[in-house]
């Protein structure tokens, strides 16, 4: 393999050139046509779907604290009722 002119290297080089280096090589041609159709599709979608989205004037604040707490409160409700009944002298 150290020989710079081995058969394996030549094959590799040939295959690489076939796929990439030729001006109208197989991959290049396919990529180009894909790009063209993609651009056409993109343009069509932009034209047909004209949805106006305006940014809200107030900052979006998602208060996770409320959701988590309500969930927890519902889960703990039964235990809290038990405790109040068990230790009625301090409640």
Partner 1 sequence: MFDYVKKNKALAVIAGLALTAVVAVPVMAQRDPAYEAARSSGKIGEKPDGYLGFVTAPSPAIKALVEDINIKRKAAYTRKAQETNSTVEQFAFTSGCNLIMRTAQGEKYQTPAGTWNTRDASEPVRDSRCP
Q: Counting contacts by CB under 8 A, is residue 62 touching partner 1?
A: no
Phi, psi at residue 2, to the nearest 5°?
Answer: -75, -20
Single out the residue of 56, 33, 36 nearest to residue 44, CA to CA: 36
CA 49 to each of CA 16, 38, 43, 59: distance values in angstroms, whole numbers, following the listed order: 42, 16, 10, 27
Binding residue for partner 1 (CB under 8 A) from 12, 26, 44, 72?
A: 72
Q: Confirm or reject binding of residue 73 to partner 1 (CB under 8 A).
A: yes
Q: How far is the CB of 64 from partner 1 (least distance, A)?
A: 13
CB closer to partner 1 out of 57 and 89 = 89
The nearer residue to partner 1, 7 or 87, going by C-beta atoms, is 87
Task: Please report whether residue 9 would count as binding partner 1 according to CB under 8 A.
Answer: no
Nearer to partner 1, 7 or 86 (CB): 86
Contact flag: residue 66 with partner 1 (CB under 8 A)? yes
> What number of helices (H) and strands (E) belong to the chain?
3, 0
Helix (H) or strand (E) holding 28: helix 26-48
């Amino acid at each position: 393999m150290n020989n710079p002119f081995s058969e394996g290297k030549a094959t590799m080089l040939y295959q690489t050139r076939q796929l990439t280096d030729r001006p109208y090589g197989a991959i290049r041609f396919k990529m180009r046509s894909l790009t063209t159709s993609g651009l056409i599709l993109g343009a069509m979608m932009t034209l047909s779907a004209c949805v106006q989205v305006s940014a809200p004037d107030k900052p979006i604040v998602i208060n996770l604290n409320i959701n988590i707490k309500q969930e927890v409160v519902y889960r703990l409700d039964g235990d809290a009722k038990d405790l109040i009944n068990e230790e009625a002298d301090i409640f």
